[in-house]
Amino acid sequence: MVLKKIFYMVFYFISTLKKILLIFLVLLYPNLKAQENSKTIIDKMFVAIDKIETLKFTLKKAERINGEMKYGEQDVKFNRLKKQIYTYIQKPNKGVELLWIAGKNNGHAYINPNGFPFINVKLDPYGSNMRKGNHHTVYEVGFDYISKIISFMRRKTMEDIDNIFLYQGIIKFDNKDCYKVIVDYTPFKYIKYTVLKGESVTDIAYKFFISDYMILKKNKEIKNFEDVKPGQIIIIPNAYARKTVLYIDKNTYLPILQTMYDDIGLFEQYEFYNLQLNPKIAEEEFTKEYKGYHF
C-alpha cells in the first residue's frame, strides 16, 4: 500500500513537471525562433539586394534637419548596375528633377530647378548645394547603403548578436506582409576621433558606416562636410543609429521601411512605395532628352 502511494506520488510529480516544462517551452520558443529568424531574414535581405538590377519606386522620407523633422517625396528610376539615377521631386519642391549618370558630366548631376535660376544647372553630389537639407547623397539611392550599414553592425556585434538583432514578427505595411526586425544597439555613444590626412567628414562616415550628417551636427565647429583638417579631434557616433527598425517585405526581402533613432529620438525614416523590382528601363530614360523630362 505504501509503495502504491509512493508510485502515484512519483507519477504525479513527473506529470506535473512535464506540464511545467511544456509551458516553459511554449513561452520560450517564440524568442528562440525569433533569434534564429532574425539572422535568416537579414541574410536573405542581403542576397535580395545584391540581385537588384533596376528599381522604380516612390520614396517618402523624414529627416531631422537642424532639430526639426523635414518631409519629402520623390519618384525614382534607378539602374543599379550602370549607376544611373533619375528623380522627380513631388515634395517639398514639386517639379525639381535630377539626373545622374556614372562617368558622365564630370561626376556632376543635372538639375532642373523648376524655378529660379530658371536654367538647368550641374552640381557636385557631394557639394553643399546638393547636400543642403538632406542626410544623404545620390550615391545612397536604393538599398545598398542600408545593406552595408546592417552588414557592418552584424560583424561589429557578432558576440552579442542575438540580443541586438531582434525579430518582432509579421506586420503589415502598405498592404504587404513584412518581417519586423529591430537592431537594438544599446552601447550607442559618441567617441573621439582624430582626422587623418585627406579625410572629409563623408570619408570618415563611409569608413565606419555612420552618418556624416550626424557628425556634422554633433561638431558645431565644422561648417560643412569638407571643413576638417588632419589632426583635428572630432566627435563621431560609434554606430549608425541607437536603434534601427526594418520592415522587410516577406516576398522580396527588401527593407521597404527603414526607421533610425539616435540618442535624441527619431533621426530619419524612409518608406518605399510602388516598388517595382528589376523593371525594364529604356536607356533613353536616363538622358536629358527623354520625353516628359524638362531639362
- How far apart, in whole angstroms, are the C-alpha atoms of residue 177 and residue 205? 33
Given a cut of 50, whether residue 21 has pLDDT beyond it is no
- Which pLDDT score is estimated for 15? 53
Q: Please write the tens of the pLDDT for every residue from 58-87.
A: 999 999 999 999 999 999 999 999 999 999
pLDDT-derived band of residue 23, with 50, 70 and 90 as boundaries? very low
- How far apart, in whole angstroms, are the C-alpha atoms of residue 97 and residue 287? 12
Domain that holds residue 271: 48-188+239-286
Does any domain span residue 196?
no
- Which pLDDT score is estimated for 115? 84
CATH number at residue 181: 2.50.20.10
Q: Please say whether the beta carbons of 125 and 83 come within 8 A.
A: no
Q: What is the mean pLDDT of residues 242-251?
A: 98
Does any domain span residue 25?
no
Count of domains for the chain? 1
User: Taking CA 75 as the corner, what is the angle to CA 209 and CA 169, rounded to the nearest 5 degrees?
Assistant: 55
Does any domain span residue 128?
yes
C-alpha cell at 62: 523624414
Given a cut of 70, whether residue 88 has pLDDT beyond it is yes
Does any domain span residue 9?
no
- How far apart, in whole angstroms, are the C-alpha atoms of residue 61 and residue 58? 10
User: Taking CA 151 as the corner, what is the angle to CA 55 and CA 84, rounded to the nearest 5 degrees?
Assistant: 25
Q: Please write the tens of the pLDDT for every residue from 184-196.
A: 999 999 999 999 9
Q: What is the mean pLDDT of residues 12-22?
A: 47
Does any domain span residue 114?
yes
Does any domain span residue 69?
yes
* SS3 of the chain: helix, strand, coil, percent, to 5: 35, 35, 35
- Which pLDDT score is estimated for 191? 98
Given a cut of 90, whether residue 173 has pLDDT beyond it is yes
Does any domain span residue 27?
no
Q: Please write the tens of the pLDDT for every residue from 30-56.
A: 444 444 489 999 999 999 999 999 999
Mean pLDDT of the chain: 90
Q: Please write the tens of the pLDDT for every residue from 104-146.
A: 999 999 999 998 878 899 999 999 889 999 999 999 999 999 9
Q: Please write the tens of the pLDDT for every residue from 176-226.
A: 999 999 999 999 999 999 999 999 999 999 999 999 999 999 999 999 999
- Which pLDDT score is estimated for 118? 80
Which among 66, 50, 44 has a CA at the least distance from the CA of 213?
66
Q: Count Cβ atoms within 10 A of the Cβ of residue 287 and give its class: 0-12 exposed, 13-18 middle, 19 or more buried.
A: middle
- Which pLDDT score is estimated for 20? 46
Q: Please say whether the beta carbons of 255 and 47 come within 8 A.
A: no
Q: What is the mean pLDDT of residues 163-170?
A: 96
Q: What is the mean pLDDT of residues 233-261?
A: 98
Does any domain span residue 229?
no
Question: Per mean pLDDT, which range of 86-100, 116-130, 266-280 is the poorest?
Answer: 116-130
